[in-house]
C-alpha cells in the first residue's frame, strides 16, 4: 500500500471526510468518503465542539467503512468567514563562497518571510509563494541552482483567528483523530477543480458553500490571494423563509429542487407546491417567484466577490475568467448570472479524481475535502523535495571542498 491521506472539511451545512491513496506516479485515488449533517457550526466557524465532533465521527466512520481501513491522522481544510491574506517579503543574502542558490537558502528566505508581527489573536494557516526575486530578477518559481547574491520571496500569508484553528483541532481530537496539518480550504479547492492552464494564466475560484463564500485568485500556477465572507447559500434560503413563510428546511429543499438564479429564465405558468405549517393545507406558488427571491441575493453575493477582487487589484490577472464551486454553484443558471456580474467567462468546477467511490465525490460540494487530501499530499512532497535538494547540495558542496 502506498501513502494514505485523509482530508476533513467541517462546513456549515455538512462535515465531509475523504480517504485517498497515492499510488505509483503520484496518482491519487479515493478509497472512501463520508458526509454527515453539521451541527454547532456557524459560517464555517465551530461554536460547539461537542456537536461538531459528532458529525466528524459519523463522517469518519462512513469513510473508513467504505475504504476498509482505520485512520489516525487527518489534514484539515480551514475555511470560515474570517480568512484574510497578508503580503510579506523575505530577504536573504547568498554566501559569497557559494556558487548557486540551494534548498537551504530557499528555506531561509521563506522563514524570513514568516518573521512578521502576527496579531496575538491570529495564526498563519497557509502560505503561498507568489514569486522569488534573485538580484532584482522577478518571476522566478524555483531559484535552486541559480546564481545570485541576494534573494527575496514575495509571499502571501493566509491567516484566521487563533480560536478558529484551535476549535478545529480540538474537534478532530475529540473524534479520536490527530490533526496532521492544515491548509486554506480555497487553496485545496483550487488543486481539486482548476486546470493547470487556468491556474497558470490567471483565474478566480469562488467557492460558495452554505455559510461562507471563499475567493481565491490563482496565477503562475499558484494561489496568490484569498478572502472570505459570511454570505452564501444559507443567506438565500433565509430570504426564502421570509418571502414564503416557511421553515428553513422546507425553504432549502424548494431552493434545491426548483430554484433558479435568473427570474426571466423561468416560465410564468410553472407552479410548485409548498407544504403547509402546523397542519395547514399545502399551497401553490409560481416557480418564477422563487427565482424572484433568489436572484437578487445571489447577485449581491457575486457582486461582493467582484468588488473584493477589484479592491485587491487583481481583476486584470483573470485571463481564464471565473470558476465556481461549492454546493451553491449547482444552482440553475448561476453561471449565466455570474457572467453577467463579472463580464467574463465562467464555468462550474468539481473534483476530477480517480477512485471507486460514489459520483457524489466528484461534485462541487466535495471540492474542499478532496482539496484537503491533495493539499496534504502536496505538503508531504514539498517537504520531501526540500530535504532531497538540501541533501544533494550538501553532497555537491562537500565534493567541491574536497577538490580545492
CATH code, domain with 210: 3.30.420.40
Looking at the structure, tell me whether residues 210 and 312 fall in a common domain: yes
| Residues written for the chain | 404
pLDDT category at 25 given cuts 50, 70, 90 is: low
Looking at the structure, tell me whether residues 201 and 154 fall in a common domain: no
Assigned domain for 47 exists: no
> Residue 383 has what pLDDT?
60
- Choosing from 323, 349, 375, the residue where a domain stops is 349
Residue-wise DSSP of 243-264:
HHT--HHHHHHHHHHH-BS-GG
CA torsion sign for 98, 100, 104, 107 is positive
Give the structural domain span for 265: 196-349
Contact between 163 and 193 under an 8 Å Cβ cutoff? The reply is no
Is the pLDDT score of 319 beyond 50? yes
Is the pLDDT score of 73 beyond 90? yes
Looking at the structure, tell me whether residues 340 and 204 fall in a common domain: yes
Q: What pLDDT digit, counting tens, does each position of 210-257 carry?
A: 999 999 999 999 999 999 999 999 999 999 999 999 999 999 999 999
Assigned domain for 225 exists: yes
CATH code, domain with 152: 3.30.1490.110
Assigned domain for 122 exists: yes
Q: Which residues share a beta bridge with 92?
A: 151
Helices 162-174/49-67 angle, 10° precision: 50
- Choosing from 349, 366, 388, the residue where a domain stops is 349
pLDDT category at 302 given cuts 50, 70, 90 is: very high
Tally of CB atoms within 10 A around 22 = 20
Looking at the structure, tell me whether residues 104 and 236 fall in a common domain: no
Task: Give the chain's end-to-end CA distance (angstroms, integer).
Answer: 46
Assigned domain for 120 exists: yes
> Residue 398 has what pLDDT?
47
What is the Cα–Cα distance from 111 to 105, expressed in whole angstroms? 10
Contact between 349 and 335 under an 8 Å Cβ cutoff? The reply is no
Contact between 167 and 46 under an 8 Å Cβ cutoff? The reply is yes
What is the Cα–Cα distance from 111 to 188, expressed in whole angstroms? 22
Assigned domain for 223 exists: yes
Q: What pLDDT digit, counting tens, does each position of 187-213 carry?
A: 999 999 999 999 999 999 999 999 999
Q: What pLDDT digit, counting tens, does each position of 133-187 carry?
A: 999 999 999 999 999 999 999 999 999 999 999 999 999 999 999 999 999 999 9
Assigned domain for 34 exists: no
Looking at the structure, tell me whether residues 229 and 303 fall in a common domain: yes
Q: What pLDDT digit, counting tens, does each position of 35-71 carry?
A: 999 999 999 999 999 999 999 999 999 999 999 999 9
State the pTM of this model. Answer: 0.91
**Among candidate residues 30, 19, 24, the one with its CA nearest the CA of residue 2:** 24
What is the Cα–Cα distance from 289 to 291, expressed in whole angstroms? 5
pLDDT category at 393 given cuts 50, 70, 90 is: very low
- Choosing from 349, 371, 391, the residue where a domain stops is 349
The lowest-confidence range among 23-37, 162-176, 358-372 is 23-37
Looking at the structure, tell me whether residues 209 and 345 fall in a common domain: yes
pLDDT category at 381 given cuts 50, 70, 90 is: confident
Beta strand pairing status for 84-93 and 150-161? antiparallel
Contact between 27 and 373 under an 8 Å Cβ cutoff? The reply is no
Looking at the structure, tell me whether residues 208 and 301 fall in a common domain: yes
Assigned domain for 318 exists: yes
Looking at the structure, tell me whether residues 226 and 107 fall in a common domain: no
What is the Cα–Cα distance from 264 to 370, expressed in whole angstroms? 35
Is the pLDDT score of 1 beyond 60? no
Average pLDDT, the chain: 91
Looking at the structure, tell me whether residues 230 and 291 fall in a common domain: yes
Domain count, the chain: 2
- For 41, the enclosing helix (H) or strand (E) is strand 41-42
Q: What pLDDT digit, counting tens, does each position of 266-286 carry?
A: 987 889 988 878 778 888 999
Assigned domain for 201 exists: yes
Looking at the structure, tell me whether residues 237 and 307 fall in a common domain: yes
Looking at the structure, tell me whether residues 139 and 214 fall in a common domain: no
Is the pLDDT score of 338 beyond 50? yes
Looking at the structure, tell me whether residues 202 and 283 fall in a common domain: yes
> Residue 27 has what pLDDT?
83
Residue-wise DSSP of 173-217:
HHTT-EEEEEEEHHHHHHHHH--HHHHHH-EEEEEE-SS-EEEEE
Amino acid at each position: 500500500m502506498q501513502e494514505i491521506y485523509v482530508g476533513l472539511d467541517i462546513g456549515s451545512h455538512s462535515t465531509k471526510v475523504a480517504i485517498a491513496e497515492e499510488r505509483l506516479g503520484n496518482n491519487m485515488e479515493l478509497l472512501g468518503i463520508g458526509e454527515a449533517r453539521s451541527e454547532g457550526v456557524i459560517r464555517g466557524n465551530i461554536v460547539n465542539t461537542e456537536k461538531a465532533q459528532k458529525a466528524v465521527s459519523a463522517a469518519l466512520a462512513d469513510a473508513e467503512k467504505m475504504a476498509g481501513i482505520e485512520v489516525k491522522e487527518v489534514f484539515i481544510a480551514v475555511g470560515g468567514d474570517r480568512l484574510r491574506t497578508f503580503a510579506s517579503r523575505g530577504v536573504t543574502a547568498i554566501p559569497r563562497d557559494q556558487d548557486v542558490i540551494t534548498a537551504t537558502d530557499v528555506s531561509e528566505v521563506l522563514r524570513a518571510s514568516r518573521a512578521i508581527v502576527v496579531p496575538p489573536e491570529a495564526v498563519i494557516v497557509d502560505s503561498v509563494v507568489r514569486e522569488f526575486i534573485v538580484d532584482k530578477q522577478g518571476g522566478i518559481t524555483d531559484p535552486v541552482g541559480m546564481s545570485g547574491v541576494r534573494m527575496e520571496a514575495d509571499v502571501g500569508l493566509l491567516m484566521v483567528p487563533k480560536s478558529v484553528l484551535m476549535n478545529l483541532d480540538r474537534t478532530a481530537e475529540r473524534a479520536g483523530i490527530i490533526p496532521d496539518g492544515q491548509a486554506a480550504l480555497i487553496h485545496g479547492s483550487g488543486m481539486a477543480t482548476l486546470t493547470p492552464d487556468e491556474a497558470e494564466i490567471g483565474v478566480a475560484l469562488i467557492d460558495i458553500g452554505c455559510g461562507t463564500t471563499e475567493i481565491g485568485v490563482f496565477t503562475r500556477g499558484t494561489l496568490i490571494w484569498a478572502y472570505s465572507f459570511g454570505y452564501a447559500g444559507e443567506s438565500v434560503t433565509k430570504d426564502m423563509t421570509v418571502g414564503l413563510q416557511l421553515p428553513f428546511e422546507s425553504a432549502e429543499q424548494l431552493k434545491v429542487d426548483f430554484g433558479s438564479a435568473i427570474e426571466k429564465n423561468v416560465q410564468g405558468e410553472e407552479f410548485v407546491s409548498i407544504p403547509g405549517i402546523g397542519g395547514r393545507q399545502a399551497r401553490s406558488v409560481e416557480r418564477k417567484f422563487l427565482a424572484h427571491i433568489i436572484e437578487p441575493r445571489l447577485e449581491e453575493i457575486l457582486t461582493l466577490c467582484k468588488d473584493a477582487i477589484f479592491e485587491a487589484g487583481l481583476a486584470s490577472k483573470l485571463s481564464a475568467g471565473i470558476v465556481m464551486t461549492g454546493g451553491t454553484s449547482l444552482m440553475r443558471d448561476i453561471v449565466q448570472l455570474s457572467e453577467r456580474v463579472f463580464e467574463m467567462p465562467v464555468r462550474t468546477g468539481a473534483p476530477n479524481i480517480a477512485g471507486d467511490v460514489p459520483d457524489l465525490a466528484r461534485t462541487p460540494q466535495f471540492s474542499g475535502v478532496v482539496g484537503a487530501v491533495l493539499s496534504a499530499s502536496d505538503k508531504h512532497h514539498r517537504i520531501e523535495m526540500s530535504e532531497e535538494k538540501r541533501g544533494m547540495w550538501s553532497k555537491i558542496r562537500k565534493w567541491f571542498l574536497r577538490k580545492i
